[in-house]
């Protein structure tokens, strides 16, 4: 099994919605070398993030509509086009040859012909400005205060002209559905949309939350350095950002539970609740368990956390993470619909609701193709019900933290304020919006106290 074969298989399974791509890669890439596994990640995530741009590169050379192509063939065309346009370390002839090699015989000539034409149109010239003949490539010097933007030149214009139709350009160049480009352009303006486009199309940073119940962050940074791994402390007292690509299971202290993989913005959520030792806490939407174990660390593994989910299978990941991290105070609870949680009363509750995931489009790139604008109404109703359910189950004086990984105001502050209008005696003590790229994923939390 080569990296490209695995990548094509993961793309197919992701398209069929077996799971998110990151989960599929974790299982499918188990037998690969570290180098091949990194290539699988690059290929799969790159194709999913850049899908609309890749289609714009391929479309002019097709003699039939996209809808007439077999989905597997389209995956292979995108896989080859991604290597040609975005992987400068892969020679063009190798990108074409290796992709054609894994193509079924019946379409080999077709795929070969299309990819050769794409190879001819992609140049090795990079420019700092957008245009119909340049595709957004990456951030030049991303660690600097003002990173430059880099676009890769094409021999001919294949994207919409930015001055003529900027929303269409955003959708094609940064690979967003058109409805999302329109939505964000109206809210954020051009410059911020371009910044978000570059951020969400780049590999997201890898953050670890050090388990301070077992080790000091400084000591863990020393362990990483001893292994030759480049890492830096984040502003949150438990946060570590890994600057090297590495398999999580190969990091020091994985089996001993010295850390959990958790994005920086997610670490802020349990910190906002800050439960005390001995408390009784409801974690209403607990899977996969990162925030659950973080709550337990605040509680010094003393007290009680009821971790809920409507899918029993998802709670298995919570239990496994608790075992690895040494957490013993968590009680899994399978619910029927998310609103029939144990009655309590609890001292506090965390309700990390299902949401649009628009704050994590880089980490979960397939979201941009699965999400539809019609879903927001359903999501907001569900989020509102879950927040009411959590508030109903905390005692007077108790606190509830509501959180999402969305950057949509109607899912965030809009839900919180609607609930405050519908339930008397609530105080909004604090709220925070995490902006994508500053320094990690986007999201939101609000801390409410019940009177």
Q: Whole-prediction pTM value?
A: 0.94
Task: Tell me the CATH architecture of domain 264-450.
Answer: 3-Layer(aba) Sandwich (3.40)
Q: Which helix (H) or strand (E) holds 448?
A: strand 443-450
Q: Where are the domains of the chain?
A: 128-188, 206-261, 264-450
Give the model's confidence band at 68: pLDDT under 50 very low, under 70 low, under 90 confident, else very high.
Answer: very high
Give me the residue label for tokens 């939101």: 444
Chain segment 384-406, per-residue pLDDT in tens = 999 999 999 999 999 999 999 99
Tell me what pLDDT residue 146 has: 52
* Cβ(259)–Cβ(230) below 8 Å: no
β-pairing, 280-283 vs 231-233, is: unpaired
Q: Is 47 exposed, middle or buried (CB count within 10 Å of its CB: 0-12, 13-18, 19+)?
A: buried
Cα atoms found within 13 Å of the Cα of residue 436, Cβ hemisphere only? 25
415 CA to centre of own chain = 22
pLDDT digit string, tens, across residues 325-371:
999 999 999 987 877 889 889 999 999 999 999 999 999 999 999 99
Catalytic site includes residue 322: no
The CATH code that applies to domain 206-261 is 3.30.70.1170
Q: What is the pLDDT of residues 158-175, one digit of tens each?
A: 999 999 999 999 999 999
pLDDT of 120 > 60? The answer is yes
Q: Which helix (H) or strand (E) holds 305?
A: strand 304-309
Annotated catalytic residue within 285, 308, 355, 405: 405
- Each residue of 220-268: pLDDT tens digit? 999 999 999 999 999 999 999 998 778 888 899 999 999 999 999 999 9
**Side-chain half-sphere CA neighbours of 360 within 13 A:** 21
Residue partners of 388: CB distance under 8 A and separation at least 6: 339, 419, 422, 423
Average pLDDT over residues 93-105: 97
Q: What is the spatial distance between Cα 83 and Cα 7, in angstroms, rounded to a whole number?
A: 12
Q: Report the candidate in 273, 266, 256, 272 with the shortest Cα–Cα distance to residue 288.
A: 266
Closest CA to 441 of 182, 261, 191: 261
CB 132 within 8 A of CB 156: no
User: Whole-number mean pLDDT of the chain?
Assistant: 94
> Which band of pLDDT confidence, cut at 50, 70 and 90, is reported for residue 142?
low
Using alpha carbons, list the distances in angstroms from residue 190 to 194, 201, 312, 363.
6, 17, 43, 23
């Amino acid at each position: 099994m080569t990296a490209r074969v695995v990548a094509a298989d993961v793309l197919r399974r992701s398209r069929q919605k077996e799971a998110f791509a990151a989960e599929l890669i974790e299982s499918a890439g188990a037998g690969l070398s570290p180098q091949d596994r990194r290539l699988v990640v690059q290929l799969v995530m790159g194709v999913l993030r850049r899908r609309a741009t890749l289609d714009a590169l391929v479309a002019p050379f097709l003699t039939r509509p996209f809808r007439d192509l077999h989905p597997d063939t389209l995956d292979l065309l995108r896989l080859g086009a991604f290597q040609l346009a975005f992987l400068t370390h892969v020679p063009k002839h190798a990108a074409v040859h290796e992709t054609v090699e894994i193509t079924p015989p019946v379409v080999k000539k077709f795929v070969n012909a299309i990819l050769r034409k794409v190879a001819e149109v992609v140049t090795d010239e990079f420019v700092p400005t957008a245009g119909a003949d340049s595709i957004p490539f990456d951030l030049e010097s991303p660690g600097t205060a003002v990173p430059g933007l880099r676009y890769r030149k094409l021999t001919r214009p294949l994207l919409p002209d930015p001055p003529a139709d900027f929303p269409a350009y955003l959708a094609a160049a940064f690979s967003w559905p058109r409805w999302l480009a329109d939505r964000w352009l109206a809210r954020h303006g051009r410059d911020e949309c371009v910044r978000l486009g570059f951020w969400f199309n780049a590999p997201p940073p890898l953050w670890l939350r050090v388990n301070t119940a077992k080790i000091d962050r400084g000591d863990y940074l020393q362990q990483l350095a001893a292994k030759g791994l480049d890492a830096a402390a984040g502003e949150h007292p438990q946060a570590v950002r890994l600057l090297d690509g590495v398999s999580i299971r190969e990091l020091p202290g994985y089996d001993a539970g010295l850390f959990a993989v958790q994005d920086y913005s997610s670490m802020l959520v349990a910190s906002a609740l800050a439960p005390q030792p001995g408390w009784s806490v409801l974690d209403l939407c607990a899977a996969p368990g990162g925030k659950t174990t973080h709550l337990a660390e605040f509680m010094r593994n003393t007290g009680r956390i009821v971790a809920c989910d409507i899918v029993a299978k998802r709670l298995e990941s919570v239990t496994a993470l608790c075992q690895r991290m040494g957490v013993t105070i968590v009680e899994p609870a399978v619910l029927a619909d998310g609103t029939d949680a144990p009655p309590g009363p609890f001292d506090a509750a965390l309700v990390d609701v299902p949401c649009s995931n628009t704050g994590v489009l880089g980490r979960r790139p397939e979201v941009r193709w699965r999400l539809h604008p019609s879903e927001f109404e359903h999501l907001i109703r569900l989020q509102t019900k879950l927040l009411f359910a959590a508030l109903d189950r905390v005692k007077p004086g108790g606190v509830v933290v509501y959180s999402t990984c969305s950057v949509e105001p109607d899912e965030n502050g809009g839900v919180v304020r609607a609930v405050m209008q519908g339930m008397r005696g609530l105080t909004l003590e604090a709220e925070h919006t995490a902006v994508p790229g500053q320094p990690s994923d986007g999201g939101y939390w609000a801390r409410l106290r019940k009177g």
